[in-house]
Structure 1
Amino acid sequence: MIQSAIGALLASSAAVAATPAPALPSTLANAAELAALPDGGWLALDKNGLRLLDASGAQRAQFPIRARQLDTRSHAEGMLAVVVDSNTERAQPLVVDLARGTLNALPALPAPGFDVEASCLYRDAQRIDHLFLIGKDGQSEQWLLSGAQYRPVRKLALPPHIKHCRVDDDSHTLLAAESDFGLWAYRADAEGSGQRQAVALRAPYGKLAGGAGALSLLPGGAALLDKDGAKLHLFRQREGKWEAAGSQQLAAKGGRGNALAVRAAGGNAVSLAYKTAENAPWQARALAWTSAGQAPAAIPFAIVEPRTQTDPMERQGDAADDPAIWLHPTNPAASRVFGTNKKQGLLAYDLQGKQTQLLESGRLNNVDIRQNVLLAGERFDLAAATRRDDNTLMLFTIDAKGDAAEAAVFPTTLEKIYGMCLYQPSGGALEAFVNDKDGRYQHYRIERSEGRFRAALLRSFAVASQPEGCVADDRSGRLFIGEEKLGVWSTSASAAKAEPLRMILPVGPALKADVEGMALYHGEKASYLVVSSQGDNSYVVLDAAAPHAVRGRFRIGMNVAAGVDGASETDGLDVTSANLGGPYAKGMLVVQDGYKRLPDGPQNFKYVAWDDIARALNLP
């Protein structure tokens, strides 16, 4: 009983066992770096090249190269390995064919504009392989390895003197060991804003002796040698946070050039291979380890790929905001996507994503469209947008070719105008809901007389905190409002039938703040409300009709073949069920992308085929 209790304690605290692991083959003695293979063998990197060894240490293959920074991932033929050529500074991928016992070189990556100090592989949620290259001064790049050619994904700014890095694919965490300071955890997923947390720092900021050395991954955690290689530190990830999980003295005195490799040994056992200095021998040690485990998401994500993307904004930074779809009356393929640039005005794109028009109308935020609107005996296709320069509502006409023109400017009494949406009641006419960052809403009727457009205030109401996105269902007469920190409300869109707001989707397991853009998809069998869940870079699909059951949620991933990155931190979106031809026969979703990658660039909009969403979520 006492022994079992001690064993449980050791496992829970991730203590290093006192007994050594099975001895390492003598043929590993001169290796500078090691990587364990699933068949019990090893990849060994030494001054003569990269060697493939079996479990007994017998050499099966060798690739001559003077290299460093060995990392691996599983591959259909065995393993994918990457090293950095010390002569050319180019990353060299190789396929390790375990069945045939061969090392097959793939094309090398282009040389970056800096000396590579560290590199590591990353496999994202789509099972797409990436490579991080990190320079001595902190210049860093993320590259896409999958597909017909390698592509730069983004540039990063990391601390200087990072000599070791590893990526935990499950949590999408880039661990970077800064030799003079400590261990940092970064977000490895290129989509979204950068995130960083300190895992362990040197004294007086933490308990590391001088800084961070070699690094390796554990299930749900990491193992780190300090800078002089004398001490092993263990860390566990729990609910997105990194915490210390024990340490062990390895040598009275170590040195630079330490190295570390880990092999799972079954159950809670891990075999650790390490060397405390460049010229020190490799040693083996057993490790009892239990990961904290990751709490599963209440509602899992599907991943859909965008079919294409629009030309980028002409302004850097947070520029793109909200799209709206205009349907051509006779030729669906000639339809347009209008989008706002918060630093410039209103833009239009064709279905291939090419920009067709720019109206420099000011700092426009949200835009919405209604077509075939009957006003004073005339029919119009109209777009409306909020303008933050002067807190006004702008009205645009759209002609039969899809070209917009400024038509009217309506003042409001709002102080920080923000979002808006249009409503076309069953009796005709046109109405607009505009909101303020303080939660106020103003409801206007848009009319036309004497050849001019006019706006009349119908009512005012408010939510408790900042709103932005809203959408009105012309069919049911319902208005859906997004309160960014709280969730989605529903109420009557009719000023004559005003009713209290009713929460239909609170922030929680399915929806993460901020609540942003929303739109309605009216299909043949069902209608859905699509909401941007900006807090976790996802999109929620729920029934447009009460009780508004959640049908699923998805993320927009990378389309490697088309060279289109995913979408993240989406502000505005729009969707249509109209047959636009080709992949959009069941309609399309357009979303604003907060971070343009593959490569870095100004923001833009992504197009997603509704049929892809329906298949991913099993929608009727």
Structure 2
Amino acid sequence: MKKNVLCGALLAAFCATGAVFAAPANTLPSFTQEAEELASLPGGGWLTLDKHGLHLFNASGQEQDRIAVRAKQLDTRSDGNKVLAVFLEADTQRPLPVSVDVQAGKLVKLAPFPVPTFSVEASCLYRDAQQLDHLFLIGKDGQAEQWVMQGEQRSLVRKLALPPHAKHCRADDGAQRLLVSEANMGVWSYEADSEGMGKREVVALRKPYGQLDGGAGALAVLPGGVAVLDGKAEKLHLYSHQGSKWTAQPAQAVALNVRKGDSQLALDGNSLMLRGKNGWQARPLKWAGQAETSPAVAIIAPQAQTEPMARQGDAADDPAIWLSSNPANARILGTNKKQGLLVYDLQGKQTQLLEVGRLNNVDVRQNISLGGGKVDLAVATQRDDNSMMLFTINADGVVVEAGRFPTGLKSIYGMCLYQPASGGVEAFINDKDGTFQQYKVEMSGMSGNKFSATLLRSFKVATQPEGCVADDANARLFLGEETLGIWTTSADAAKPDALTMVLPVGAQLTADVEGMAIYRQPGGNTDSGYLIVSSQGDNSYVVLDAKAPYKVRGRFKVGFNLPAGIDGTSETDGLDVTSANLGGAYAEGMLVIQDGYKRLPDGPQNFKYVAWGDVAKALKLE
């Protein structure tokens, strides 16, 4: 992964564990002494920011270019000899990105960000796993925003609530961590990745709660840690991060003699650079930390998204795909746990809303032989009355409620349909207590649309389940026990067998185990096919063979599609997949995924459409 230019060379400077500082201080080039902020560049050059503007110097100290501006809050990211710099225009506080061509010695202004709607006290860059550059803006009162840039595009990703009186921030790209310095309190760590609810950790606190005198000042990211000046700029503290624990290393007196909150700190190779009353000084640093990185996972851009839910909060849950004789007229059914059932077209436009109460999971089967005819049927779990709801779908994709049946369950939850080779359709319904019920759905006559449901069997898992999917061709049921893993058992009620573990929660699957679907090539044999599972705990999706020995084929995440204005997915509950050729990007099929947190910008939950061809290419599937 590409590194922050202030951190890159430090990776080669690791030493044995022990002392973390080495003195005395080094002397920096004289032209840096007037700088209020600075950053080292590949090849030994420098960017400096002072009251007159941004300056580019080469390794010999020659000024190669400048941009006249009153500015503050300089941060950089490198890509070989190309460097991205962003600073805030002092008067407007508008973030201004600049491309730094180190080899040519040129500064090129890029399209600016909009003028912020609040007073910005701190800003910093973050480069994500997609190699997209983000900018965090933090206000004195705790208002904050995350923006993303691509080419000339500047897009608001989300709004955040961060500590008040934040003067400094820095992002650790590899660890996907945002570090924020709260002047009167300490340093906090947040998840820089925008998907999911996020979490925060305490890094360091002021006395008497921690070791910092007068709160926290400037920050610099270290591999596997952070350097922090205390609020009085009298001591330099280092903190290492392992697991979920931050550990303080011995502090060193620095006595920079600056006003509280005016400290500056940066990193140049194996030296920390500190700005005091008499300019900048460099202190050689020995550091035994290891850079943190997230596991490499393929990232796939979605092709489209549905219109947002009409309800805020945790509303969208589970999708199901209905196929039309005209592929372009396929429909996506999606549950809203606060409203009912929604229907969308392939462009994501809502075509129907059935306000039938708190639906959780939904599944679809088509061309079912029932009552002497053929019917397309959707079944959903209804949490208001713990019932199983039935819907018919006509040739135009119009969904109509067709009945509901009590289950006797106390907390109905997930479900999936099974279409036996012998005909008809059956439904697996589960309860939060682990109970599964299997029903046979029948129809007394096509004209009356009179459905019935007969309980065939019940069984139970030890803890809470939700997602399940039936492999119709092989009469197998796959089910998820949220904290334990994926099980399989016979889908044939007349031939029950013991539950067999397919994939436990572990390195490849993170709890909660949620939505499931099976992808099978059109006309393919029953020995081929893939099981796709939502690994909710790490916002990823696992693809494995749908037949023993259930080999894992890979994992992927869904990221940004900035040109289309679509964010990624996170905390996915339900998903569905089809191998049908739906045209265009979906010629090899479509995967529909519930998104737990709508970004770009923030909004109610929705569903994302992913081209199966993109998944197959990323994971090198057949």
Q: TM-score range by the shorter chain?
A: over 0.9
Quote the residue 1:280 is aligned against: 278
Paired residue for 1:324, among 315, 320, 323? 320
Identify the residue that residue 5 of structure 1 maps to in structure 2.
none
Distance in 2 between the 1:110 and 1:9 partners?
41
Equivalent position of 2:302 in the other structure: 306
Query: 2: distance between equivalents of 1:252 and 1:112?
Result: 32
1:500 pairs with one of 498, 501, 508: 498
Counterpart position of 1:190: 194
Distance 1:252 1:92, change over 3 A: closer
Higher deviation after alignment, 255-264 or 401-410: 255-264
Q: 1:53 to 1:327 in 2, by over 3 A?
A: same
**How many residues get paired?**
602
Which residue identity lines up with residue 384 of structure 1 in the other structure? V
Alignment partner of 1:511 out of 504, 509, 512: 509
Q: Please tell me whether residue 315 in structure 1 is matched to residue 311 in structure 2.
A: yes
In structure 2, the CA distance between the partners of 1:294 and 1:316, relative to structure 1 (3 Å rule), is same
After alignment, is 41-50 or 473-482 more displaced?
A: 41-50
AA aligned to 1:358 is L
Q: Tell me if structure 1 keeps the 8 A contact 2:223–2:292.
A: no
Q: Is the 8 A contact 2:414 2:465 kept in 1?
A: yes
Corresponding position: 1:472 with 2:476: no
1:76 CA drift (Å): 6.3
> Could you say which residue in structure 1 is the equivalent of 2:23?
18
Separation in 2, partners of 1:337, 1:418: 20
Q: Name the structure 2 match of 1:149.
A: 153
Q: Which amino acid aligns with 1:113?
A: T
SS of alignment partner, residue 474 of structure 2: coil
2:3 equivalent in structure 1: none
How many angstroms does 1:457 deviate by?
A: 0.7
Q: What is the CA distance between 1:96 and its match in structure 2?
A: 1.0
Give 3-state SS (helix, strand or coil) of 1:614's partner.
Answer: helix
1:489 aligned onto 2:487: yes
Change (3 A) 1:38 1:359: same
Distance in 1 separating the partners of 2:256 and 2:121: 28
In the aligned structure 1, how far is the partner of 2:596 from the partner of 2:15? 45
Contact 1:147 1:561 in 2 (8 A): no
Contact kept, 8 Å, 1:488 with 1:503, in 2: the verdict is yes
Deviation at 1:280, TM superposition (A): 3.3
The equivalent residue for 2:540 is: 538
Which of 185, 196, 204 pairs up with 1:200? Answer: 204
Deviation by residue 1:455-496 (Cα, 9 ceiling, x = unmatched): 011111110000000000110000001000000000000110
Q: Does 1:391 align with 2:391?
A: no
Aligned position for 1:113 = 117
Task: Give 1:259's aligned residue.
Answer: 264
Q: Which ranges in structure 1 are unaligned for 5 or more consecutive residues?
A: 1-7, 265-269
Q: Is the 8 A contact 1:485 1:514 kept in 2?
A: yes
Spell out the pairing of 1:438-457 with structure 2 (5 A cutoff): 438-450=433-445, 451=448, 452-457=450-455
1:212-245, Cα deviation, whole Å (9 max, x unpaired): 1011112222111111111111122223543223
TM-score scaled by length of structure 2: 0.95
The 3-state SS of whatever aligns with 1:246 is coil
**Deviation at residue 294 of structure 1 after TM alignment:** 3.9
- Where 1:613 maps in the other structure, the secondary structure is helix
8 A Cα contact 1:13 1:245, kept in partner: no
Residue matched to 2:550? 548
Cα 1:295–1:162 change in 2 (3 A) is: closer
For residue 564 of structure 2, give the secondary structure of its aligned residue in structure 1.
Answer: coil
Partner of 1:3: none
Summarize the Cα distance change of 1:310–1:296 in structure 2 as closer, same or farther, 3 Å threshold.
closer
Task: Give a deviation string over 1:352-375, Cα, whole Å, max 9, x none.
Answer: 111111111110000000001111
Matched to 1:125, the amino acid is A
Output aligned runs, 1:92-491, within 5 Å: 92-251=96-255, 255-256=259-260, 257-264=262-269, 270-276=270-276, 279-294=277-292, 297=295, 300-328=296-324, 330-450=325-445, 451=448, 452-491=450-489
Change (3 A) 1:307 1:236: same
Q: Could you say if the C-alpha distance between residues 9 and 421 of structure 1 is closer, same or farther in structure 2, counting changes exceeding 3 Å?
A: closer
In structure 2, relative to structure 1, the CA distance for the partners of 1:41 and 1:529 (3 Å cut) is: same
Cα distance in 1 for partners of 2:244, 2:397 equals 47
Q: Which amino acid aligns with 2:498?
A: P
Partner Cα separation in structure 2 for residue 252 and residue 428 of structure 1: 81
Is residue 233–residue 256 contact of structure 2 (8 Å, CA) maintained in 1? no
Q: Kindly report structure 1 stretches of 4+ aligned residues shifted beyond 6 Å.
A: none
Task: Summarize the Cα distance change of 1:252–1:600 in structure 2 as closer, same or farther, 3 Å threshold.
Answer: closer
1:77–1:10 CA distance, 2 compared to 1 (3 A): closer
Aligned to 1:4: none
Q: What are the superposed Cα offsets for residues 273-330 of structure 1, whole Å, 9 maximum, x if unpaired?
A: 1023xx3321111001122344874xx41111111111111111100000000000x2
Contact 1:77/1:95, CA 8 A, preserved across alignment: no
Structure 1 letter corresponding to 2:410: E
Contact kept, 8 Å, 2:56 with 2:66, in 1: the verdict is yes
CA contact (8 A) 1:176 1:183 kept: yes
Secondary structure of the corresponding residue to residue 413 of structure 2: strand
Q: CA RMSD in A?
A: 1.5
8 Å Cα contact 1:42/1:55 also seen in 2: yes
Match of 1:37 in 2: 41
The 1-side partners of 2:77 and 2:279 are apart by 26
Find the residue that maps to 2:31 and give its secondary structure.
helix
Unaligned residue ranges in structure 2 (runs of 5+)? 1-12
Q: CA 1:11/1:161 → structure 2, altered by over 3 Å: closer, same or farther?
A: farther
Distance 1:38 1:252 in 2: 28
| Distance verdict in 2 for CA 1:318–1:212, change over 3 Å | same
- Name the % identity: 61
CA distance in 1, matches of 2:291, 2:113: 35
Tell me which amino acid in the other structure corresponds to 1:554: F
Q: Which range moves more in the overlay, 241-250 or 169-178? A: 241-250
For residue 111 of structure 1, report the CA deviation from its aligned partner: 1.1
Report the Cα offset of residue 20 of structure 1. 2.7
Aligned-pair CA distance for 1:67: 0.8
Match of 1:81 in 2: 85
Q: Secondary structure at the match of 1:39?
A: helix
